[in-house]
Structure 1
Amino acid sequence: MSVSQTSGTDAVDLAIIRELSRNARISLAELGRRVSLSRPAVAERVRRLEDSGVIKGYGVHLDLDRLGLGLRAHVSLRPRLRSARKPQVLRDRLLAMGHVLSCVHVTGENCYELTIAVRDAQHLEQVIEQLSEMGDTTTGVVLSEPVHPRDVDIAAWLLCED
């Protein structure tokens, strides 16, 4: 059974998801034209996808380089402090620090994998020092990003699964 069958989405819903993933600001009329539905029909499908939680929200894609945050790094964090092992405490501390774009809890030797954005190497060093207060860190600087999450066509994956 495919993911689309288990989630109640069909090929038209997946086409809508694909178009909205590419451009969330597309008008309903244009979206309807691209998926061969009337504006009211596409509006109803989008509303249903939102109400069911398939579409959780819409966002802005920022150019971090233009904001002066041209250096990105991945940091593995293994908390030493018992309090830093509590997800809510860690979350609050990371959000208060700033510069953390994402944090995932993973299996393996390190507990958390962070993506951070900073101005330059000196700024990276300062942020790593702050993170080191919570635990042991291992850092890798991002050289390039051949595949960005926005480039991935989830709808195509779901259509291919059987």
Structure 2
Amino acid sequence: MVDKLNWAILQELQKDARASFSEIGRKVGLSSPAVAERMKKMEDAGVINSYKVNISHQKTGYQLRAVITLRAFTGRLKAFLETVSTYKEVLNCYRITGNENIIMEVILKDQVNLEKLIDQLITYGETRTHIILSKVVDDAPILPR
């Protein structure tokens, strides 16, 4: 399903998901209808799941980014997993292996909001917080195999 041309289309979409079929076609060497047909097939097959907006959180007043790990107390992991989606500050949350059970990327307005979030999280387990200073690598593009 994902041949060389589809990989090229996917890479162009990752650069700009709003690019027109004709723009993508010029870059990958296909006609506009051919690009549209390939994208539709990739959507139907679940290769393309959605198109998203990339928001500048800093410009919306959310200046503080952090990574928080959680080592759940015995019997508290399930309760946390049922609740985590209600925290508006959580951008991403992953269940992981190792000493901690959870790693989250969060965005907050300031340290006061970070403290409030941590106060909520410590009812589920031991937390460790790392403030993000800067982004070193942008979202890595997919690479064909």
- TM-score (structure 1 length as normaliser): 0.84
Contact 2:77 2:124 in 1 (8 A): no
Deviation at 1:76, TM superposition (A): 0.5
**Corresponding letter in the other structure for 2:77:** R
Q: List per-residue Cα deviations over 1:56-105 (Å, max 9, x = no partner).
A: 111110100011111000000111152x422xx43441222220001001
Segments of structure 2 that go 5 or more residues without pairing to the other structure are none
Q: How many residues are paired up?
A: 145
Q: 1:81 and 1:93 mapped to 2: Cα distance?
A: 16
Which residue of structure 2 aligns with residue 5 of structure 1? none
CA distance in 2, matches of 1:67, 1:92: 28
The structure where helix makes up a greater share of residues is: 1
> Match for 1:122: what amino acid?
V
Report runs of 4+ in structure 1 exceeding 2 Å deviation.
Answer: 89-92
Select the residue among 61, 64, 70 that pairs with 2:63.
Answer: 70
Residues 79-158 of structure 1 mapped to structure 2, 5 A cutoff? 79-80=72-73, 82=75, 84-86=76-78, 89-149=79-139, 152-155=140-143, 158=144
Which runs of 5 or more structure 1 residues have no equivalent in the other structure? 1-7
* 2:121 partner amino acid: L
Q: Specify which structure has the bigger relative contact order, considering alpha-carbon pairs within 8 angstroms and separated by 6 or more residues.
A: 1
User: TM-score, normalised on structure 2?
Assistant: 0.94
